[in-house]
Amino acid sequence: MGGLNLGPQEIIVGLLVIVAAAFSVWKLMPARRRLKSMLALDAWLAHRDFLQGWRSRVLARHIQSAAGPGCAGCAANTGARPHPPR
């Protein structure tokens, strides 16, 4: 009546499968839902003391790029130049 005996290889493979599945879900998720997810993560991290450097460097940049070009991308705004395509 042995329990579940997992070796290090099975644990690593399981973690890789979980990470790959999460990455696939993230990439296939609609852009609006990804933006809402990042905004929710940002709001949650705003009340925590850990990962503040990552929040300000990485997450803020990703939120800005996911939000779109802003007013400069609108055809009605003739005073601002749109961002160059990537």
If pLDDT is split at 50, 70 and 90, which confidence band does 74 have?
low
pTM of the predicted model as reported, rounded to 2 decimal places? 0.56
Q: Tell me if 35 is assigned to some domain.
A: yes
How many domains does the chain fold into?
1
- CA 22 and chain centroid, separation: 11
Q: Tell me if 51 is assigned to some domain.
A: yes
Q: How high is the pLDDT of residue 23?
A: 95
Structural domain including 77 reads: 30-86
The answer, yes or no, to whether residue 12 has pLDDT greater than 90, is yes
Other CB atoms within 10 A of residue 62 CB: 15
If pLDDT is split at 50, 70 and 90, which confidence band does 21 have?
very high
The tens digit of pLDDT for each residue in 28-70 reads: 999 889 888 888 888 888 887 777 887 777 778 877 777 666 6
Residues 6+ apart with CB under 8 A from 81: 72
Q: Tell me if 61 is assigned to some domain.
A: yes
